[in-house]
Structure 1
Amino acid sequence: AEERRSGGKGDHATRNTQHTVSYPMSYAQWNTMISSATAQIQAGAFQKVVLSRVCEIRFDADVAVDQAIAYLNETYPECYRFLFEPRPHHAFYGATPELLVQMNGREIATMGLAGSAPRGQTAAADTQLANDLLASEKNQHEHRLVVDSIRRRLTPLTAALEIPAEAQIYTLSNIHHLYTPIHGTLKNDTGILSLLKYMHPTPALGGTPRDVAMGFIQAAEPVTRGWYAAPVGWLDHKLDGVFGVAIRSAVAQNNRVWAYAGVGVVGQSDPAEEWRETEVKFRPMLHSLGIE
């Protein structure tokens, strides 16, 4: 699908608002991919896989990435905002809600973030959607797979590990997530890079079991992910630091932008519902470019 539009969203719109929006993967292709994943999950090949699709936007002029990141800074202050621009007009940027790992000495923090629902149009509808998310067997199952995997990975490395028994609601301006904060104390001084290598990708980004799910992703997704969902963050001379995962992100090259959105797929997943979830997850990046 492709459409040509003009107009923008607020002061942070790209300088030239003539643009086209297209999606390299059709809904029919998406339906086939998700249905294949659920069939393999139901057959016992794996338990969960995270699948993504791409939105491509073409402008009539170079993209104003500075305005896009300014919009994200203003609209998503609770997220980890990032911008890499290795050369002019070639950038990777986004606003991720998902912490991969934070380290201060032997103290670490991470999170399980999986399972989501859109925001409601009214306060009552919004509360109902959040409550429905908490009550959703499918979303709770998807979330538990992530938390259980993180627990298994961290237990041998930690002297203490704190994981709440129940998921919470984590609300952003456009979406609700199921969220479990996780804190621990490492047995040894490992440094954040070793821990990143050990933890990434969690089932919130790849799937479980990891190797089987990653193999399915590589075979099924028609567009390579590149930096999408990669660890992004900072570290200091002591190898302490903070890293998130680069979801809710986009690559900009001159007048073109590729935005990414992914969903966690389990045995009960419905292709139409997962498609709608990606539409919600595209919105931060589209809005950052002035596209409604």
Structure 2
Amino acid sequence: LGGFSFFDNYKNDQDWKNFGTSHFYVPKLMVTVTNEGTFITSNYEINEQTSVEDLLLQYKEYDDFLEKFGMKQPSFTQSECINKDEFEPNEWIQSVKEAIHQMKNEKLEKVVLNRTLNATFSSEVNSTKVIYELEATRNVNYVISYQLKDTVFISATPERLISKKNNTVSSMCLAGSAAKGITKEENTEAADWLLNSKKNNGEHAFVVNYIRETLQQYCNELSIPSTPRIMATKSLLHLFTPVEGKLYNHVSLFELIQALHPTPALGGFPKEEACKLIRELEPVDRGWYGAPIGWIDLNGNGDFAVGIRSALIKEDKAKLYAGCGVVQDSKPEEEFFETGVKFLPMLNALGGLRNER
């Protein structure tokens, strides 16, 4: 279980110093819940000195832990947001304007810009409670929590990067979004607008074409619908296109991750030029925001999502991340509003803005 940073180096990694550019766990205890049942897996480190008695003692320790702690519903104290600060909002809008200006003068068609929000809470944030809150209102594909020492990265992301089961791979194209309405009629109107938006469909097409061209190098069969559909999350509607493929020979999951990351949905297009501009315009390191995070098993099968709609939590403070795709037709103030909407589900789960949807 683990993940990577968005870039392979940091400008200033103080917030992310525990995470580095990659980190993976082999879990001591793992609970897997599937349609076939619930399974508990325990892993043990064995060396030349390990005896059967050592393993039995370790097994008993794990079993006692599950009996005492693992099967009880946890209790929580409620943290409330006492202060929130959107980091340099005016400068961020200027960055969007600069990106649009550069697109008109250079061979750059899309760039994804991230912005951050810093929040302080009335007490130390309980990351387990945040997971429970996100699961209670879950309408995304993944809720991920990854803790290293006193820092936790949490993501409630709708977006898969790549999964692999034997020679079958799955990915998705998720780009282009609109805020949800309050009523069913407003949502229908927003979905119709999104499906017919030239700007959003163009942004979505970059992702579709990129994933198609990348996976064609590894697959002899590739299924991608010709038109996108709508995926709804708590606050947003997205243009969504599923991708399925059959690998023509053995390719590792990590090789596929390296080939795909970052897609135009998280970086931009062309990739190299977009990433260079991101480094120039974003003052805050992305860390694991927007980067691959997931699992891989001993057979090389696994599933990796991208860590968007996320927060980095330490004690009573959290840094929230949200991004948007900028193209030539983008309007900076609208992109600012969109990223603000993307902050809300995580901010609510952390303990802030209970009265906002």
* Superposition TM-score tier, normalisation by shorter sequence: over 0.9
Residue 15 (structure 1) shift:
2.8
- Structure 1: runs of 5+ lacking an equivalent: 1-11
The structure whose RCO (Cα within 8 Å, separation 6+) is larger is 1
Residue 16 (structure 1) shift:
3.5
Residues 1:237 and 2:318 are matched in the alignment: no
Residue 14 (structure 1) shift:
6.2
- Structure 2: runs of 5+ lacking an equivalent: 1-74
Task: State the AA in 1 paired with 2:220.
Answer: A
Residue 190 (structure 1) shift:
0.9
Aligned to 1:38: 100
Alignment match of 1:67 (pick from 129, 132, 150): 129
SS of corresponding position for 1:201: coil
Sequence identity of aligned pairs in percent?
Answer: 38
Task: Provide the TM-score with structure 2 as the length reference.
Answer: 0.76
Aligned to 2:80: 17
SS of corresponding position for 2:352: coil
Residues 1:202 and 2:271 are matched in the alignment: no
Preserved CA contact (<8 Å) 1:85 1:92? yes
Alignment match of 2:171 (pick from 96, 110, 119): 110
Alignment match of 2:198 (pick from 100, 114, 137): 137
SS of corresponding position for 2:185: helix
Aligned to 2:109: 47
SS of corresponding position for 2:217: helix
Greater shift, 56-65 or 262-271, is seen at 56-65
Query: Alignment length, in residue pairs?
Result: 279
**Deviations 1:112-162, CA, capped at 9 Å, x for gaps:** 000000111111111000110001000000000111011111112110111
Task: State the AA in 2 paired with 1:112.
Answer: C
SS of corresponding position for 1:108: strand
- Large movers: runs of 4+ above 4 Å: none
Greater shift, 43-52 or 265-274, is seen at 43-52
Task: State the AA in 1 paired with 2:237.
Answer: H
Preserved CA contact (<8 Å) 2:79 2:351? no
Residue 194 (structure 1) shift:
1.1
**Deviations 1:30-68, CA, capped at 9 Å, x for gaps:** 221111111111223311000010000012321111111
Task: State the AA in 2 paired with 1:33.
Answer: S
Task: State the AA in 1 paired with 2:118.
Answer: E
- What CA distance in whole angstroms lies between the structure 2 residues aligned with 1:16 and 1:122? 30
**Deviations 1:190-210, CA, capped at 9 Å, x for gaps:** 121111111111000001111
Q: Larger Rg: 1 or 2?
A: 2
- What CA distance in whole angstroms lies between the structure 2 residues aligned with 1:16 and 1:49? 36
